[in-house]
Amino acid sequence: MGFVSDVVRRTRHGLVLLLGLLLCTGFTVGVTASPARAADVPCQLYATAPNRLADLAVKAACAEVAAGTMYTWGGGHGARPGKTYGYFDGQDEASRHDDTVLGFDCSGFVRYAWSQAVGYDIVGSGATGNEVKVLTSPTAHNTVIYGPGGLEPGDIVFFGDKHWYGDSIEHVAISLGGDRIAEAAQSGTPLHARVLNADKFVMAIRINPDTVGQPGPDPSASGPVHSTWGTWIRLGEQPVHGARVVAVLDGPTQVKVNCQQRGDSITAEGTTNDWWSYLPEYRGWITNIYLQGPAVLPDVPECGTGRDLSGVSGTPSGGDFSVWASDVNVRAGASLDGSPVATIATPRSVRISCQAHGGVVQAEGYVNDVWSYLPDYQGWVSNIYLQGPAVLPVPECGSASGTPAPATTCTDGTDPTGSDARTPAGRSVEIQGRLIELRYSDSTECGWGRISRGGVGDHIWVDRSADGGAHWESQLGHTTITDGQDVHTVQWRDSGVVMRACGSVAGQPDVVCTTWF
């Protein structure tokens, strides 16, 4: 089949592509030299997305670019879409230490972006050639584009030699519209956006939003029927913010719910709730915010225990209260002498685990020496700034429940537990007014990252190295601000290793990191 410029055709039954299962690195095959690449451009839409799914795929791709995610040979080809550690390709010295780099290769990157758009893995764990075979199968009904003109956002773009045999496909990227693409190019470089190389263009595939679909609901699932509301609601693999998406509900529908439990506290649509429901039909979790009814569903038992929750309110564990003022400092200790660890910019709901007598505060016409501990911020707020009585109906710190006593160890990937957290000297950096900090607990020897004075969509994560920073585990605990001005990562062991915190501004490619500690 010849190369036809700027012609769009539908795939036909019987189209056979004998393509190698390649893991791309630049546009080279079997050579060690790294080709020069075009200058980076902002990762954003350069044309109107043809549909919602394409828009979501581009947003997912650009989020990884903004986060500074690295290329790693073989990255993203695990059992499920997502970053994985790579490996040495056997030839390119630049990939020698890719087994220490968490990230994507080109096809793993495309696989992940589109899985985030549609809610499941439409490509599979194979490499570039496999993606072509899957996406051009007769049952896919996708559109094949044989010329670089007229590319739309979300198109999956393939590069290599302009023929249809052997190892012709060497690289794959995602179109941002026009002649811009987002890609994972080669070892030692971060994901980026650039102008495509038209001389290497082979083909592009436009995903058909009508047939890509989702796995259908499991008809054997059981549980009380409830109604969702809202559009494009993502169901997660776990009841936590940022969990892998397993399905997307594109509009209100009826679902079966077989149990519910507490998870991450989510603020959305003006509501805060930490209860999540498991939808067995989709094998995923939905925040109760998007289920019609009370914060805790009265006819659905608690997961694991089977406990009847008909009399339980939606108050998060430890108590859900509201900060009524703006720019309220959360402090490391229960006094004005405690250094600020976060700032609550606007009135909002907060979780309180316990309260204690501390330094006397005189403000807003009140005097009070009672402070409340906010576990989501790892710090204290004067009760003056909390709606309610001077002494709140929560446990006293030091009693059997709610005590923020220093822990002695930690587990990777868990909420920070050390109440003696500090920011080591020199382990903070600013970017466009945002403060990026590495927080460290001497009692647990664990660290985590925090971004404050930021905005929705800003990124924060930590890197960890066992050889003084020569190589490292990248983007541990990566998270974004979803509400307010600050957020922290989960914690990671920092015993016998060094760590740093890194962050970026929403929608922008620049990344800053603290020095190693």
Digit-coded pLDDT (tens) for 314-350: 544 444 677 878 888 999 888 888 888 888 887 777 8
In this predicted model, which residue has the larger pLDDT, 363 or 371? 371
Confirm whether 362 is domain-assigned. Answer: yes
Confidence grade of residue 420 (pLDDT, cut at 50, 70, 90): low
Cβ-contact 327, 343 below 8 angstroms: yes
Same domain, 86 and 74: yes
Whether residue 408 lies inside any domain: the answer is no
> What is the average pLDDT across 208-212?
78
Same domain, 75 and 147: yes
Q: Which residue has the tokens 């920070």?
A: 416
Quick one: 254 and 312 in the same domain?
A: yes
Mean per-residue pLDDT for 137-162? 86
pLDDT for the residue numbered 233: 86
pLDDT average, residue stretch 212-239: 75
Higher pLDDT, 36 or 275: 275
* Of 406 and 165, more confident: 406
Residues 261 and 307 in one domain: yes
Residue 337 token pair: 């002498």
Q: What is the pLDDT of residue 321?
A: 76
What's the chain's average pLDDT?
Answer: 79
pLDDT at 404: 56
75 and 85: one domain?
yes
Q: For residue 203, give the CATH number of its domain.
A: 3.90.1720.10
246 inside domain: yes
459 and 506 both lie in a single domain = yes
Token code pair at residue 143: 């559109």
> Can you tell me the distance from the alpha carbon of 410 to that of 446, in angstroms, rounded to the nearest whole number?
7
Reported as a pLDDT band with limits 50, 70 and 90, residue 297 is confident
Which of 385, 404, 420 delimits the end of a domain? 385
- Please say which residue of 267, 299, 316 terminates a domain: 316
pLDDT of residue 109: 95
Q: Does residue 409 belong to any structural domain of this protein?
A: no
Structure confidence at residue 432 (pLDDT) = 87
pLDDT value, residue 210:
77
Read off the pLDDT band of 8 (50, 70, 90).
very low
Asked if the model's pLDDT at residue 307 lies above 90, the reply is no
Q: Which of 469, 473, 479 is nearest to 449 (CA)?
A: 479
C-alpha span between 81 and 237 (Å, rounded): 12
Say whether 314 sits in a helix, a strand or coil.
coil
Answer yes or no: is pLDDT of 511 > 70: yes
Q: In this structure, are residues 370 and 390 in contact, taking their beta carbons and an 8 Å threshold?
A: yes
- Which CATH number covers residue 501? 2.60.40
Q: By three-state DSSP, how is residue 329 classified?
A: strand
Nearest residue to 498 (alpha-carbon basis) of 475, 480, 473: 473
pLDDT score recorded for residue 195:
95
User: Quick check: is 410 in a domain?
Assistant: no
Answer whether residue 446 shows pLDDT above 50. Answer: yes
Report yes or no on 15 lying in a domain.
yes
Clarify whether residues 282 and 342 are in a common domain.
no
Is pLDDT above 60 for 167? no
95-136: pLDDT as tens digits: 999 988 999 999 999 999 998 888 777 877 666 666 777 787
pLDDT at 29 over 50: no
Judgement on whether residues 371 and 462 belong to the same structural domain of the protein? no
Choice among 160-164, 285-289, 443-447 with the minimum mean pLDDT: 160-164
End of a domain among 316, 334, 353? 316
Is the distance from CB of 132 to CB of 160 less than 8 angstroms?
A: no
75 lies in the same domain as 187: yes
Q: Which residue in 347, 341, 336 sits closest to 369, CA to CA? A: 336
Residue burial 406-435, b: 16+ Cβ < 10 Å; e: rest: ebeebeeeeebbbbbbbbbeebbbebeebb
The residue written with tokens 């760590």 in the block is: 499
**Has residue 462 been placed in a domain?**
yes
Are 74 and 206 members of one domain? yes
Structure confidence at residue 194 (pLDDT):
96
pTM to 2 decimals?
0.43
Print the domain residue range for 18.
8-212
Mean pLDDT over 380-399 rounds to 79
115 in the same domain as 22:
yes
pLDDT-above-90 percentage for the chain: 20
Question: Does residue 306 lie in a domain region?
Answer: yes
**Mean pLDDT across the stretch 254-271?**
82
Cα(11)–Cα(132) distance, rounded to whole angstroms?
A: 11
**Residue 111 shares a structural domain with residue 197:** yes
| Residue percentage of the chain with pLDDT more than 70 | 82
- The stretch 171-198 carries a mean pLDDT of 95
Return d(Cα 288, Cα 291) in angstroms, integer.
5
What was the pLDDT predicted at 28? 35
Domain count, the chain: 4
